[in-house]
Structure 1
């Protein structure tokens, strides 16, 4: 039987859930890879006059993947950027309804973005778009971004709805 996580690991699991922690770990690995690639590219460029071929392309791909993968973790924590100018002036009974409506609106917007990313990836795939130096196909990255966006949309809608329809606690 495995031991439960302790300390910060336990609070991370409680806050994000296992899927959120998995997303965070994958994102962290990608960030470390991006950092290492940049460091070795700079060292190769300035000390040995031999940069890593395609380092900029790989960095761009990793950055894009980290951003869209992070959308799921941000959605799980409900850490989207918000502006709450009027929230403090609203009565308490409005807040659950406002959260559901905001979640639905944000989810719809994210679904539209995900759909357009999918269409764009289809276009890129139609002409076999790839990176310049390494010839890495770009369409799969577009599909990945589209899927991550739609998953983020579903999470953004599901959490406020789940909270709204949950039975009241004593």
Structure 2
């Protein structure tokens, strides 16, 4: 299978969302691979050479933050979060659609205002010169990254999330081919 065919099969989103998803999942995959390698080398160093990698725990914490917040926009616009649909068979399709639009609005607004607060905390952290405990990395940059990814999540939810609700494209498993 050619690369374009693979991308079409696994990234059914239209236009820019396809490439955002591909890049964000690539970042997450690369960080996960680096975390696995870091953990393996840290364990090997600890047990065979009696010396672990300095700052491995802190790098793992930062890597997990990068990985989780890179996946947040993708999971949100694909509707990959937990959904309880106990009343869907009782309520009409129009009510379900209104509730879906309402949830899109609530989720995107929440992420937007959460990102504003996180960005304010990041700026304060950078002004004060706060650094991570062991490696001495500026703590504000990771908080800025989290704020940016939260804004991206809000934008993707508001645009493509609303598109999915309005066009009834809520089941991506049939589009992905699972």
1:1-170 alignment runs, 5 A limit: 5-6=4-5, 8-15=6-13, 17-163=18-164
The answer to whether the 8 A contact 2:116-2:147 is kept is yes
Inter-partner Cα distance in structure 1 for 2:82 and 2:164? 20
The answer to whether the 8 A contact 2:115-2:150 is kept is yes
The answer to whether the 8 A contact 1:130-1:136 is kept is yes
The answer to whether the 8 A contact 1:20-1:76 is kept is no
The answer to whether the 8 A contact 1:129-1:139 is kept is yes
Inter-partner Cα distance in structure 2 for 1:102 and 1:159? 13
Instruction: Give how far 1:43 is off.
Output: 0.9
Which ranges of 4 or more aligned residues in structure 1 deviate by more than 6 Å?
none
Inter-partner Cα distance in structure 2 for 1:89 and 1:51? 58
**What is the CA deviation profile of residues 56-92 of structure 1, one whole-angstrom value per residue up to 9, with x for unaligned ones?**
1111101001111111111231212222232332101
The TM-score, its normalising length taken from structure 2, stands at 0.83
Change (3 A) 1:45 1:163: closer
Moved more, 81-90 or 142-151: 81-90
Inter-partner Cα distance in structure 1 for 2:124 and 2:107? 26
Inter-partner Cα distance in structure 1 for 2:132 and 2:21? 30
Moved more, 124-133 or 77-86: 77-86
**What is the CA deviation profile of residues 104-161 of structure 1, one whole-angstrom value per residue up to 9, with x for unaligned ones?**
0111111122112112212221221111221111101000000101110111111243
Gaps of 5+ in 1: none
Inter-partner Cα distance in structure 2 for 1:14 and 1:34? 29
Inter-partner Cα distance in structure 2 for 1:50 and 1:4? 42
Equivalent pairs counted in the alignment come to: 163
RMSD of Structure 2 on Structure 1 (CA): 1.9
